[in-house]
Structure formats: structure tokens, C-alpha cells
Chains A and B, each alone.
Chain A
Amino acid sequence: MNAPTAFDQSELIDTRFTVPGMRCAGCIAKIERELPKIDGIAAARVNFSSKRVAISHQPALGETELGEALLGLGFEAQKIADNPLGSDDRERKQLMRALAVAGFGMMNIMLLSVSIWSGAEGSTRELFHWLSALIAMPVIAYSGRPFFSSAWMALKFRRTNMDVPISIGVILATALSLYETATGGEHAYFESAVMLLFFLLAGRALDAEMRTRTRAGIGALLGRMGKTASVIGPDGSTQRLPAGQLEPGMLVLVAAGEALAADGEIEDGTSALDNAMLTGESTPEPVGVGSIVHAGAINLGAPIRVRLTRVAGDTAIDEIARLMDEAGQSRSSYIRIADRASRAYAPVVHTLAALAFVGWMMAGAGWHQSLVIAIAVLIITCPCAMGLAVPTAQVVASGALLKRGLLVKDGSALERLAECNMALFDKTGTLTLGEPRADVSGLDAQARSVALGLAQNSRHPLSKGLVATLRAEGVEPAAIESVREASGQGLAGSWNGLDVALERPEATSTELATQLRIGPDVHALTFADPLRLDSQATLKELREVGIDASILSGDRNEAVEAVAAKLDLPATASASPQDKLATLEALKAAGRKPLMIGDGLNDGPALAAAHASIAPGTASDASQQAADAVFIGEKLMPVALAIRVARRTMQIVRQNFAFAIGYNVLAVPLALFGYVTPLIAAIAMSLSSLVVVANSLRLAGSAK
């Protein structure tokens, strides 16, 4: 943090690393305190949200040394490109600035307008109008830019979009207000124009924020791939090559603990691979000569030699990232309810306003009065209540769901969740916990503490499962001395002078198992990936609201069938990421609205392509990013809850819409016939907004 710097500041360069292993405040403190103690490093700054570290260091220190320094602290790190934040981020910040300016303008102009409405007259009113104009002009010019430029682009290509009527409304209201101000007229409508911009910008800024997060997920996905590989030359020498320079046909040596940088086929050696990031399956996959391996898998066992088949840009993981990107884009074109309504609504209002103008002109009211009435129609129908109808309901519902362990990431997600009429579940990690849990009923208290003492030294999935089971039962670990881990064999050590070990069982079986040896005694431990406790209840609740569930898994047939039989669900097994995506596309083409619930990286494209998607909190980062909602904890019930609350939310949204439309149906004719003064329009407008907000607040208790 504030390390004394004995460095010449001008010589320092910045290198950024992505450190996915950061989990807590302790990690931040450790990295920021320990790194500057290394010779040549001036400072380190952690960005926890994006899991990145920026290291300021002397140029003499290379990427490898810095990576090793981080590894020395216990964090795996990958260097990232210098400017990881592209134009998306600029666009988002621009929207935030426009929103802030519009907010400032809105508050100040409102202050002035309220005094005019409550009866300021003569020179005071004129002064206030001029002040409003002075504030409004720059504010509209600055904050309106996103709308004006988008409308201009559309008009240039002879098309129209939502921004065209917005721009026309804002410009027309501003121009007439300016004229009114200049001629000392009674009414100016700067506040309505600025308020309109403010509410619209708030929606856009939130939308941009969501999209930025999705992109970050795809970046995180590609960051997990091995970045370099040891290539074995024809003469047997090895050479370290970056992933981009690998070619199909090369022979690569993959050491234990290393991540693969490309897809290939094993030529020599047997080992176990952690494929969790590709498939979400926790069990290490045993591989031998002839096995196909994929980039991103981590070698847990012995070194293997791999003949490469598909390299950078062409690997299975690249494919998944591309599918996710495409699927995500096709979904962002989804037309939201609010958009649909206001798309139909805006032209109607403008036509009405135009008709009012023409009508009053023909009735001989003079062009000035006719224009005032036309603008009154525009103002009183300011889509405030309409604009609040959806977001307020969604915010309240999301807050209620969050308290029940379900994080909804996107406002429109609730809309889509409510529309779903069928559900597809991944098996491992979704219906099941996704972690092997040990059956420790055969162990006595002493054996349990020895097992925990041994297992906590290993990062093997079975050890981690054993540790989780034992810790959950409150077991204290025994002190084990000289613990050593042999890849593929197990853990061994000594306890009170006895040799103890956690090792591979002698009898081979299809079940996941290990055995605990304490001196002469041998205990067998079996592992299972248990179903989430409330799976049955959740599925029952889903059926009650008319949602048919089925299983769509990449796992083996037998494993899937066992779960399917238990839960009485139809199932499809051995589905590749492409199969899953194709299944969803087919369902969507058939008019169904599938909800996908999955956790693995192989579910990523399916999650992005589904009508709506939910991922458990244990899912890979990429899947969590692709999903609309994430549920935390070991219960599946938040899935059913999400559907119920989403439907209730849409009910409230429809009520809000009905009210907003009803209000307009009443107010517009009055305005059309010239009975509405700006004061009445303002009160009616704020009242209608308040009613909508109050109605939305009823959702707070909906997630009980």
C-alpha cells in the first residue's frame, strides 16, 4: 500500500495480472503487503471486483518473475493485455456522466418550476424561465447526446427507432419553451424535457452495466486456459512456447499441476485430469494413452505427453466462448415489455399531439395556443409512470429474492423467468451438490480426526469432499507429521508413531472410494455426489406452477439415469455443449420457453441461449456470468421461488401498466381539450408515479 519507495518513479512500468484465486480481504492484504517487499516491485494494487492486480515494478522484472512472486504467495496468476477495458467501458462511463448531469439539471429546474406552478408571476416568472433555460440548454445538449446520435443514425439509414420520438419530443419541448421564455409567455417545459432524459438514461446506464459484466465473464473463461506449453522437439529437448505459437502435430509435455494450452491426444503416460472448468464434473477424469484432452483441463497426476490436434482459437474452450458471445448477443435483441409498450405508445402520443395542434388550428385558436395544447398533451403523457412500471417492480422483487439467496442479475431476467414454461436441469452440481461427500459413518471419532488431519493437506477433489464432510460434523484435525502426497497414490504421514495414510483402495470398483489406514487398521470410505436435499420438493413446486422439468446432462448415461429414476424426470445424457445449445434452439423454435439451470462451463452456451437461466453459486465464473440469476447455498428451492416471484412481479408490472394507461386515457382527452394547466399536469404526473411505486412495494413480501 504505502510502501516507502526507493524507486525512480519514471522508470516503473505497470503490469496487470488476473488472479482468480482472490476470495477475501485477507487475500487483498497479503498481495498488497507482500509483493512490494520483493526487490524491484514498487507497489501492487488489487481490483477485487475484476480479480486483477496491477503491479508497478522496474522493467528488469519480467512477467515470469512476477507470476512466480504471486505463486509464492499462493495465487495462480495470468498476465493480461495492457488495456483490457475497451470501448464498452467508455460507453458505460459516458452514460453515467450524462445521467449525473441530467440529475443535476432536473433537480435545479424542478426547484424553479415548482415556484412557477405555485404562482410566481411577472418578472419573477420570467427570471425563473431564463434561469431554467440557462440550466436546461447545456444539460439537454450534453445528456441528450446518446439519444440524438442514435436517432440521427437511424434516420440517416431511413429507419426509425425508440430514440427518434424521444429526440423529437425533447427538441420540440425545448424549442417551444425557449420561444415562450423569449416572448415572456406563461409556460416553459424545460423540467419535463430534462426529467424525460434522466429517467431514460437511468435505464440505459443499468443496461450497459449488465452487458459489461457479461463480457468480463467471457474474458475470465479464456483466461483459465494454459498460456504456454513445453514443446518436445524431435531431438528430445523441450522448449517453452506461448499458446499462440503452438501448432497441430506438436508433442507437448504437461507436468503435474499444469493447465493444458491446447486440445490433443495423449501419446504417453497415464494421469487424472481436472476437467471441472470445462464440464463442471468434479471427479478427476482418468486418462491414458489415446485419450482426448482439452485446453483448460488441469493435470492432477503424473506428467503426460500430448500430441496436439487443435490449437489457439480452435479449441473446445474457444468454441464455448464464441458460442456464449453469439448466444448473448442474440438475446440482447430481445424486446422488453417496456420497450414494446413504449414503442407503440410514443407514436400514438405524438400523433395525438399533432392532431391536437391541427384540430385547434382549424378551430381557430391561433398557432400559439394550439402548440401549447399540443405540448401539454406531450407533457401530461410523459412516460414517467410507464417508465417506472417495470424497473420499480423489478428492483423490489430482486431485493426480496436476494434475501432468500437468489441473485437476479438483470432486470429483464425476471420478465423472462416469468414467461418460462419448461425447465432443463444439468445433473452434476445442479440437481446434485457437485461435490463428492464422504460416507464417514464407519469411522470412530479418532479415525475421523486423523482423516481430516491428512485430507486437509491435499487439493484433490476427494480430499476436499472428505474435509467438507468432516468439518460439517465439527471434527478437529489430528496433528499429522511428515505428510507427503504422491500423485495418483494418496497421502501418507505419521500420527503418534503410527503410519497413517489416505490411499487408493486395493479393490477396484466403479464407485468413488478411498481407504484410510491407521497402523494396521483399514477403513474403506465411499464417496457419492448427493442430490440437493430439497430437489424433490422443488420439482414438485415447479410442476404445480405448470413447469415440466427434464434433465439435460453431459454426464454418462448410467449416472444420469439413476438420478432421473430417483426424481422421476425424463433425461438426455451425454450431451455435448453443442448438443445442449441445439436442444435449446430447437425448443425455442418450437415455441417453448425453456429455463436452463446448470453450472458447468459446458452449460455456458446453453445458459446464454435459454429463454432464462439460473446457475448455482458453485458454478464456474463463466456460467455465473452467462446466467440470469445465481442461487447461493445447498438448496434448490430458490429456483422455484424465482419462478413464483417472477410471475408475481409481472402481475404487478401489468397492474402498473394498466394504471399508467388508465391515467393516460383519462388525462389525455382533458389535455386535448385544453383543460389542463401545467400545474395540474405536474401533480397528475407525480401522483401517477407515486401510485406505481407504492404498488411495486407490495412485492417486498412476495418471497416468503
Chain B
Amino acid sequence: MRILRFILISLMLYAFSQVRGQTYYTKNGTIKLFSETPLEKIDPINKKAVCVMNIAKGTLGCSVLIKGFKFRNALMQTHFNENYMESGKHPKAHFKAKAIDLSQIDIEVDGKYQVPLNGILIVRGIEKPIDIEASFDIRDGKIHGSTSFVVSPADFDIQIPGIVKDKIAKEILVSVEAQYEPYEK
């Protein structure tokens, strides 16, 4: 009986270490927004996104604090936070993807992997399904993930007043870069 218990516990510890060992994260993910019209170019950046991926479980999530987006124009930053994103009420935006096939990623083999991510984007508390394609570049056991996709402010109930309508694009390009590290805690 003792031997059986020992084998069971050993198996569980082994399985846990395998799952945990395939968790990668970053606290310094970069998210850029890009809007361009003939009247105005807007390109805020946030370098403190948290992204976590688990290769074994096939999960990936990114979160970002809205107030952390830095604009070239201070007044634009204020309008972004107070009028459009209501960052006091909705301080974070998230992307979550489950059941994605990350099995093709071999951390031991350098190379570039394209992975479709079918997930949910949560902005201002509004959830929208989104299909994007991410690229994972493996170099020397490190994972560099990147993706870009387009979102529409209208999808997240963001009302753009008529006076600035021609200055903000109807579709905003979102770019994400993340240098993942193994989670070892």
C-alpha cells in the first residue's frame, strides 16, 4: 500500500511539474494602438502588459491597465481615459484564449510557429469573440510572441463625438509583443 501511495504521489508531482514547467509569462508585454486619418495619427503605447501562456493546457491570456497607455499628446491621453475608455470604471482590458493548440511549439527547437488564437477580448467590460493569428519565435529556449489585429471602437460601445470623428480611425490596429520567461515560482 505504501509503495502504491509513493508511486501515485510521484506521478502527481511529475505531472504537476510538467504542466508548471510549460508555463511562460511576462510582466513587460508591449501593446501599441494605432489610428491614422488624414487629420491625425494616434499611436499610444503600454509596456506593462502581463501575458501568461501554458503550452500543455493550451491557454493564453494578456491583461493591460488602460491608464498605462502613454500618448504623445497629453490632452489626447486624458480624453482616451476619461471620455472613451472610462478607465476609472474599467481599469483593465483582457484577452483570453482556451483550448488552443500550442503543442507544435517545441521550446527545445529554435524556429517560428504560427498559431491561430480563438479567444475573447474584454474591453470596457464588454466581451467580444476574436480570431487572431499569433507568431511565436523560439530562440535559445526563450519565446517571443507577437500578434496584431484590428478592433472597432463601436464594437465596445465607444462613442466618438462628431467634433473628433474625422481624427479617429473607425478601425484601430492593436499590436502585441511579449518576451516570455519560464514561470519558476
- A and B: real partners? no
User: A interface vs B, CB < 8 Å?
Assistant: none
